[in-house]
Amino acid sequence: YTGKSGTQLLTENLKKLYVRDYHSLPVVVHENLSVYDAICHMFLEDVGTLFVVDLKSRLTGVLSRKDLLRASIGQQDLTSLPVNVIMTRMPNVTFCEKDDLLVNVATKLIDKQIDSLPVVRQMDEGYEVFGRITKTNITKAFVSLSKDEM
Ligand code: ADP
């Protein structure tokens, strides 16, 4: 018997949960895509967040459902409005890396009141997106703790 409390054991196990083991694939669009096409993309890919990249595949922004809804209730022509006009752009995008702890990602989601983070790796200039972490991924990790899959 280790003499550790339940909370200590839980904390230890939480610190074994890394982004690299729980992230999903990102859905990425180019910054010149129209808002109209981005909406179609979001439905077809069944995600709540699209990540926006430039021609060199560098992360430039994030598009949420509400960003697209907000643009849609204006009088603008959605087929000629590029997503880079309405997205949340760098350097205001919160992101994480594969070796980050999931609990730190969860803290960022709560603090910033957002649903997901891109998982990035540093490139020559900027960041390449290769994953995404959402509240669903965190919930799955939470369930795996309860099932003692550690
Ligand atoms: P929704 O807007 O559909 O509720 P979010 O809560 O994720 O989805 O997004 C809220 C706002 O925060 C949006 O304007 C969105 O562009 C922005 N946002 C979402 N994810 C991020 C992120 N990782 N970094 C910075 N801003 C983000």
The total domain count for the chain is 1
Is residue 74 included in any domain, yes or no? yes
What's the domain range around 117?
Answer: 6-146
Give the CA distances from residue 83 to residues 20, 114, 129, in Å, rounded to whole numbers and listed in that order.
Answer: 29, 19, 17
pLDDT confidence tier of residue 150, bands split at 50, 70 and 90:
low
Q: Specify which residues 18 forms β-bridges with.
A: 101
For tokens 């997106």, what's the residue? 129
* Ligand 1 atom with minimal separation from the 113 CA: 6
pLDDT digits (tens, 9 = 90+) for 22-61: 999 999 999 999 999 999 999 999 999 999 999 999 999 9
* Ligand 1 atom with minimal separation from the 108 CA: 23
Per DSSP bridges, beta strands 127-134 and 49-53 are: unpaired
Q: What is the mean pLDDT of residues 66-92?
A: 96
Q: What is the mean pLDDT of residues 102-125?
A: 97
* Ligand 1 atom with minimal separation from the 88 CA: 16
Q: What ipTM did this prediction achieve?
A: 0.96
Q: Whose CA is nearest to atom 14 of ligand 1?
A: 67
Is residue 56 included in any domain, yes or no? yes
Q: Among 66, 121, 110, which Cα is nearest to 88's?
A: 66
- For residue 99, what pLDDT is reported? 98
pLDDT confidence tier of residue 1, bands split at 50, 70 and 90:
low
Give the CATH number, domain containing residue 98: 3.10.580.10
Is residue 1 included in any domain, yes or no? no
Q: Does the CB atom of residue 135 touch ligand 1 within 6 A?
A: no
